[in-house]
A and B are shown apart, each in its own frame.
Chain A
Amino acid sequence: AQKITQTQPGMFVQEKEAVTLDCTYDTSDQSYGLFWYKQPSSGEMIFLIYQGSYDEQNATEGRYSLNFQKARKSANLVISASQLGDSAMYFCAMRVRTQGGSEKLVFGKGTKLTVNP
């Protein structure tokens, strides 16, 4: 079954420190994509970073990096130098093929990150 698992319901980090949010995935597809989205309290879904299954290097976007370990089927998000504005829900998602030949995103249940001053 295509599944995303986020084992940390909540995480706390001190401002300016780095934090890692865990994500493991399960798929039998060879080609897939992994995403992280941020959802602040206002509710919108903000795209952070993407990693393709064939990408050899870990993706980075500013303070965000994705620690992609294909053999372990993990795609952890690393946020460096945390800021108070990073407090939000974070969702890991995987792009998978459907039986109908289309694609969809499968989401994890999310991790609530709180950055303390």
Chain B
Amino acid sequence: EAQVTQNPRYLITVTGKKLTVTCSQNMNHEYMSWYRQDPGLGLRQIYYSMNVEVTDKGDVPEGYKVSRKEKRNFPLILESPSPNQTSLYFCASSQVQGLRQYFGPGTRLTVL
């Protein structure tokens, strides 16, 4: 089954404790992206990657890091999480210049 998986689905952590949210897709997509969703703001792009070892900032990259060492994986790293990073995070993938992005199930992160 074609899918994008994210782990963990839910995470409660404390300020400053480094964390990684994993994202993996099995569709051989070149393009992957991270979004955060906050009430009243819709989804905003954090980082994206056009292919292995090619990443770039989206609209709200501050406080986040990403890496793309393999085509299927695109982890999101929060080196020192803060409460304003409490949000719902989505990973998505698509063919480059494709017609649609496939979304993961979301990760609900709470930073205390």
Measured in the bound complex, the distance between the Cα atoms of B45 and A4 in whole Å is 14
Are A35 and B105 also in contact (CB < 8 A) when A98-B56, A104-B48, A105-B45 are? Answer: no
B contact face: mostly helix, strand, loop, or mixed: strand
Any chain B CB within 8 A of the CB of A25? Answer: no
State which of B35, B90, B99, B106 has its C-beta within 8 Å of the C-beta of A50: B99
A contact face: mostly helix, strand, loop, or mixed: strand
State which of A35, A44, A47, A108 has its C-beta within 8 Å of the C-beta of B42: A108
Measured in the bound complex, the distance between the Cα atoms of B42 and A110 in whole Å is 6
User: How many B residues touch A, CB cutoff 8 Å?
Assistant: 26
Q: Give the number of A-B contacts (CB < 8 Å).
A: 55
Q: Point out the residues of chain B lying under 8 angstroms from A104, CB to CB.
A: 33, 45, 48, 58
Does the CB pair A45–B58 fall under 8 Å? no
State which of B35, B41, B45, B105 has its C-beta within 8 Å of the C-beta of A44: B105
Does the CB pair A100–B41 fall under 8 Å? no
Q: Point out the residues of chain B lying under 8 angstroms from A4, CB to CB.
A: 42
Are A107 and B44 also in contact (CB < 8 A) when A44-B105, A44-B106, A98-B56 are? Answer: yes
Measured in the bound complex, the distance between the Cα atoms of B9 and A43 in whole Å is 11
Any chain B CB within 8 A of the CB of A28? Answer: no
B70-112 vs A, CB cutoff 8 Å, 1 = contact: the mask equals 0000000000000000001010100011011111011010000
Measured in the bound complex, the distance between the Cα atoms of B3 and A10 in whole Å is 30
| Residues on B facing A (Cβ under 8 Å) | 31, 33, 35, 40-45, 48, 50, 56, 58, 88, 90, 92, 96-97, 99-103, 105-106, 108
| Residues on A facing B (Cβ under 8 Å) | 4, 33, 35, 37, 43-45, 47, 50, 52, 91, 93, 98, 100, 102-105, 107-110
A-B contact pairs, 14 of them (CB 8 A): A4-B42, A43-B88, A43-B106, A47-B101, A50-B99, A102-B31, A102-B48, A102-B96, A104-B45, A104-B48, A105-B35, A105-B43, A109-B41, A109-B42
